[in-house]
Amino acid sequence: MLQLVRCARILRPKKNGTLASIQPHRTHLSFKASDLTYRLTSHPKPKPANPEECAFGSHYTDHMLSVKWDEENGWGIPCIKPLENLSLHPATSVFHYAIELFEGMKAFHTEDNRIAMFRPMENMKRMYMSAERSCLPTFDQKELLDCISELVRVDQDWVPRSNKASLYIRPTMIGTEPSLGVQRSLSALLYCILSPVGPYFKTGTLNPVSLLADPKYIRAAEGGAGAYKLGSNYGPTISIQHEAEKQGFQQVLWLYGDNQQLTEVGTMNVFVFWINDHGDKELVTASLDRGLILPGVIRSSLLELAKQWGEFKVTEGVITMEDIILKLQENRILEIFGTGTACVVCPVERIRYMGKDYHIPTMENGPYVAKKYYKQLTDIQYGKVQHEWSHTVVDNVKK
């Protein structure tokens, strides 16, 4: 059956405040996991001797998931096959106009001998939104998750048996139309690759980082695509990240607007734990209502957990550098930390802003909230506690 998506040339606001661009394309409703075909390698690669030392995205498993789409035929048959290079025409749209999207997820070897993902349907929902915004074909989110789960099952021996390492999952979709016209791609490739990873930062887990905050640069703007997982949001940030590293900082604190609002830390969402103007402890993060930031899965998890704990006020709103500086002067900043799939929780100890260094007393204050979040989330991810956010992929993992 074919589905016709009607043309809409305006940005449509979504419930979470982000914007989706709906463009016309015709597609089979989805591929099906039950149709998966297999072409397994006869030459498996050696596994890393110590996955905890694997730099992020530097090692890859034996297989990949691949499924093609084109305007005329819709979705093809999904296939799990040996990891291989892609062969694409030099005019392919992904190269010239960045028509692509991706997701970032993880699988964990749990203490009760399962392989599990953390809230993977949240990633599927976000990937679907990114596909709409990129004018790439949409899909059945559950079917894609089932296909990815089967890929993880096939390469389950690559999932590190360690509570300091995991299997990173990178679903990707690219426009493959060989055309230099600035238009939607009439063909696409969806694929997924897997990578065993250790801690994201070289400084290790829960070790603090320093940030460079330069108002000259912004990551995204209102009405843009900052709320979507698109490569075009990341490539332009690399030179500023490199500049931060040259100055001795691990990450960039992205500011926005005349009042220099905190939006993201590197590729992470940012949280501030402070004593507010009413004398109450409050956890604050940038809101999603203007589409400036990525709606992180860890971000939403932290907000939900905080509301369950009921220990402090939780707010989604605007945080400015003026707020940070004033509350530092009044000794009301308790912790600042970034959150994301790659690092989970990352404390901040220093911000350089307008040529001046500001010490953030995150580590002196425990860091109570950052550590509590890290423990709660990793306990769920590695199966130390039973939780609905843990999605079992393989039960009773083979020895």
Per-residue pLDDT tens digits for 9-46: 333 334 444 444 444 344 468 999 999 999 999 999 99
Do 182 and 305 lie in one domain? The reply is no
CA 361 to chain centre: 27
Whether 123 maps to a domain, the answer reads: yes
Q: What is the DSSP letter of 148?
A: H
Q: What whole-number distance in Å separates Cα of residue 149 and Cα of residue 107?
A: 9
Residues 178 and 221 placed together within one structural domain of the fold: no
Same structural domain, 284 and 325: yes
- Asked if the bond preceding 13 is cis, omega within 30° of 0, the reply is no
Kindly state whether residues 226 and 147 are assigned to the same domain.
Answer: no
Q: What pLDDT, on the 0 to 100 scale, is given for residue 203?
A: 66
| 390 within a domain of the structure (yes/no) | no
pLDDT of residue 295: 97
In a domain, 373, yes or no: no
Give the residue ranges of the chain where pLDDT is below 70. Answer: 1-28, 202-204, 399
Q: Which residues of 365-384 are buried (b: 16+ CB within 10 A; e: fewer)?
A: eebebbebbbebbbbbbbbe
Same domain, yes or no: 174 and 232: no
Domain boundary among 164, 197, 230: 197
59: in domain: yes
The amino acid at 311: E
3-state DSSP assignment of residue 295: coil
- For residues 261 and 317, is the Cβ–Cβ distance under 8 A? no
Answer whether residue 290 is part of any domain: yes
Type of residue found at 3: Q
Helical pair 141-154 and 120-134, crossing angle rounded to 10 deg:
120
Give the domain extent around 49. 2-197
Is there a single domain that holds both residue 140 and residue 188? yes
Residue 90 confidence (pLDDT): 98
Q: Is 273 exposed, middle or buried (0-12, 13-18, 19+ CB in 10 A)?
A: buried
Residues 34 and 136 in one domain: yes
- Residues 80 and 150: beta-carbon distance below 8 Å: yes
The verdict on residue 385 lying in a domain is no
Same domain (yes/no): 146, 12: yes
Structural domain includes residue 387: no
Q: How far from the centroid of its chain's Cα atoms is residue 156's Cα?
A: 22
Do residues 37 and 183 share a domain? yes
Q: Which among 197, 224, 241 is the end of a domain?
A: 197
Number of residues that this document lists for the chain: 399
Q: Where among 137, 172, 197 does a domain terminate? A: 197
Total count of domains within the chain: 2
pTM, 2 dp: 0.91
Q: What is the CATH number of the domain that holds 243?
A: 3.20.10.10
Q: 101 and 29 in one domain?
A: yes
Q: What DSSP string describes 205-273?
A: TT--EEEEE-TT--S--TTSSTTS--GGGTGGGHHHHHHHHHTT-SEEEEEETTTTEEEEETTEEEEEE
Q: Distance between CA 267 and CA 349 in Å, rounded? A: 17
Can you read off the two tokens belonging to residue 227? 């709320």
Task: Yes or no: say if 107 and 167 are a contact pair by the CB < 8 Å rule.
Answer: yes
Q: What pLDDT does residue 279 have?
A: 97
180 plus 261 within the same structural domain: no
Here the tokens at position 231 are 């490569």
Q: Is 374 domain-assigned?
A: no
What pLDDT shows up at residue 172?
A: 98
Return phi, psi of residue 157, to 5°. -65, -15
CATH of the domain at 96: 3.30.470.10
**What pLDDT shows up at residue 185?**
97
**Is residue 46 domain-shared with residue 166, that is, in the same domain?**
yes
* Residues 22, 131: Cα–Cα separation, whole Å: 10
pLDDT of 399: 67
